Amino acid sequence: MAKVITKGILYLFLVIVAASCLIPFYSMFVTSTHANSDIARKLLLIPGDQFFDNYNRLKDTVNIWRGFANTLFITVLSTILNVYFAALAGYGFSKYNFKYRNALFVIVLGTMMIPGQLGIIGFFKLMDSLNMLNTYWPLILPSIHNAFGIFLMRQFADSSVPTEIIESGRMDGYGELQIFNRIVLPIMSPALATLGIFAFIGKWNDFLTPMIILFDNNLQTLPVMIASLKSQFTSDFGAQYVGIVIAVVPVLVFFSFMSKRIIDGVAAGAVKG
């Protein structure tokens, strides 16, 4: 009987935690269905009937679906580059013995201590000298380097990629890149999924860099377009919340799609530990 009660209390606690995690999403959706006056003055608990009015104002103010497409294009390419090159570098640090390997790895990790905002002026000047301002290259190419991703992939390769299987590939005549692409990457898929979700969310929500690099409104990303709805004197809260709903949906879909791989990655790390 005590076990049943304990189990019931545990399940109740988990339900409460899950519900508390869903409250912000529910509040966001409910708020997007109300008029600006209600949003500013009331505590909103049930959906209203102003969603399409808010959406129409959003669509008339900014080219929201163009921004959605721009953000999706940048995010998908950046995530692919981020995950692949982080895996390649992490695998190299893990399985290749070369001079100053540990020192270089410490330097890579050291870059995590420097906030990216500190280098934004130098980054802007560099992109200007390369004639890359008002293009997507400054938003995509830096994704090749990700110190956290390299660290994550090295740790996973150390624990989950046997050296014997690499030697076996070499004996079969595979080149180093063939071994990485055909043998190592499938083994590292849980870690790839884990890093992919972080990379996707980080790039999807990126606000500062697109705002500084892109000047053409048709090239702007979704976060910048949504922020532009707020001026110095007025704020269209209803339209903003509809834009936030549109921006959050792809993240939820991507996370749901990758969640099984993420759980597999956590479980694999627990078993190895």
Q: How many domains does the chain have?
A: 1
Asked if the structure places residue 262 within a domain, the reply is: no
Whole-number pLDDT of residue 266: 55
What average pLDDT score do residues 214-242 get?
85
Asked if the structure places residue 237 within a domain, the reply is: no
What average pLDDT score do residues 31-37 get?
87
What average pLDDT score do residues 73-88 get?
95
Whole-number pLDDT of residue 273: 43
Asked if the structure places residue 252 within a domain, the reply is: no
**CA count, 13 A, side-chain hemisphere, 201:** 13
Whole-number pLDDT of residue 233: 59
What average pLDDT score do residues 139-164 get?
91
Closest by CA position to 92, among listed 81, 111, 79, 105: 105
Asked if the structure places residue 97 within a domain, the reply is: yes
Residue 33 has pLDDT above 60, yes or no: yes
Residue 187 has pLDDT above 60, yes or no: yes
- The one-character DSSP state at 219 is G
Q: What CATH number is associated with residue 187?
A: 1.10.3720.10
More confident residue, 271 or 216: 216
What average pLDDT score do residues 182-204 get?
90
Closest by CA position to 138, among listed 77, 226, 84, 62: 77
What average pLDDT score do residues 208-225 get?
91
More confident residue, 19 or 230: 19
Whole-number pLDDT of residue 2: 76
What are the pLDDT digits (tens) for 102-142? Answer: 899 999 989 888 887 888 888 999 999 999 999 999 999 99
Using CA atoms, how far residue 258 sits from 90, 101, 107, 196, in Å, is: 21, 32, 31, 8
What average pLDDT score do residues 18-38 get?
87
Asked if the structure places residue 83 within a domain, the reply is: yes
Kind and range of the H or E element at 21? helix 2-31
Whole-number pLDDT of residue 264: 59
Are 209 and 11 a contacting pair, CB within 8 Å?
Answer: no
Residue 219 has pLDDT above 70, yes or no: yes
What average pLDDT score do residues 164-191 get?
89
Asked if the structure places residue 52 within a domain, the reply is: no
What are the pLDDT digits (tens) for 240-270? Answer: 999 999 999 898 888 887 776 666 555 554 4
Contacts of 101 (CB under 8 A, 6+ apart): 93
Asked if the structure places residue 245 within a domain, the reply is: no
Residue-number span of the structural domain to which 223 is assigned: 62-228
Closest by CA position to 190, among listed 230, 166, 159, 224: 159
Asked if the structure places residue 151 within a domain, the reply is: yes
Q: Which residues of 56-95 are buried (b: 16+ CB within 10 A; e: fewer)?
A: ebbeeebebeebbebbeebbebbbebbbbbbbbbbbbbbb
